Amino acid sequence: YVTGFLCVLLGALAGCATRCDDAEVEVDPNLTVFLSDIHIEGRPDEVRHQNALFAQTVDEVLKLRPRPARAVIFGDIAHFFGRSEDYAAAKPLLAKLEAAMPVTLATGNHDHRVAMAAAFPKAWAASPVPGRLTTTVDLGCMDLLLLDSLHETGAEGERNAGDGDMGEAQFEWLKRESSARTRPFLVGSHHNPKAITDLGRHALGHLAGLRNFVGWIHGHDHFWRKDLGLRAWG
């Protein structure tokens, strides 16, 4: 995997930081680091270069001045098949980052919910949508509605579908929460919304009519694209 999985600082958030608080502080409450597709490998007989890359990335994030107030990781915590060993290997790497800032995780198509929930039970317990890792993240002067787009088609150690899905319960949650936003908000998931094959386009249609909707951030593609924004969705 290329080191381009490090997606630091959305332009929208950088601008938001300038608008809301011009003073440079040690920890900027409006600054967020976005990561995705860290693909941590837990088996010693498998390729483990992503582990070293993520450890290096954590060190680079911790050197940022001002320091971001939080980090969000858009899924694919595990290397290929969402094994318990992958999450066990990820926990100490994440702990170094978590010692400096809150870290919010999402699921990706290489994750498995049972194994991931066993490793990170508090996140699942706090989810408002049963069976999905769904949450709202306060980004300082805006919000992030973070979705679980994993289309789980296998058990731990097996391959999942590449495309994502949302499910009716999560779709209803997204409609309620997005309609209730009184300040700018982003939506995030592992998959591009158009690759969330059951309800992704319906979600975009709903969001397009909301005044405070800023955009949708996703992982999965393994590179940082700045050419796609609200224009791409009309």
**pLDDT cut 70: percent of the chain above it:** 85
Residues 126 and 114: their CA atoms lie apart, in Å, by 15
pLDDT band at 46 (very low <50, low <70, confident <90, very high): confident
Q: What is the residue-averaged pLDDT of the chain?
A: 88
pLDDT value of residue 52: 95
Question: Could you read off the pLDDT of 90-149 as tens digits, one per residue?
Answer: 999 999 999 999 999 999 999 999 999 999 999 999 999 999 999 999 999 999 999 999
Residues 191 and 219: their CA atoms lie apart, in Å, by 6
Q: Which residues contact 198 (CB under 8 A, 6 or more apart)?
A: 165, 166, 167
Provide φ and ψ at 99, rounded to 5°.
-70, -20
pLDDT value of residue 228: 55
53 pLDDT above the threshold of 70: yes
pLDDT value of residue 223: 78
pLDDT band at 48 (very low <50, low <70, confident <90, very high): confident
Question: Could you read off the pLDDT of 54-100 as tens digits, one per residue?
Answer: 999 999 999 999 999 999 999 999 999 999 999 999 999 999 999 99
Residues 223 and 6: their CA atoms lie apart, in Å, by 8
pLDDT value of residue 1: 32
Lowest mean pLDDT among 23-27, 44-48, 119-123, 221-225: 23-27
Give me the amino acid identity at 234: G
Q: 225: helix, coil or strand?
A: coil
pLDDT value of residue 199: 97
Nearest to 73, CA basis, from 33, 110, 40: 33
Lowest mean pLDDT among 18-22, 69-73, 153-157: 18-22
Report how far apart, in Å, the C-alpha atoms of 118 and of each of 76, 123, 133 are: 16, 10, 13
pLDDT value of residue 192: 94
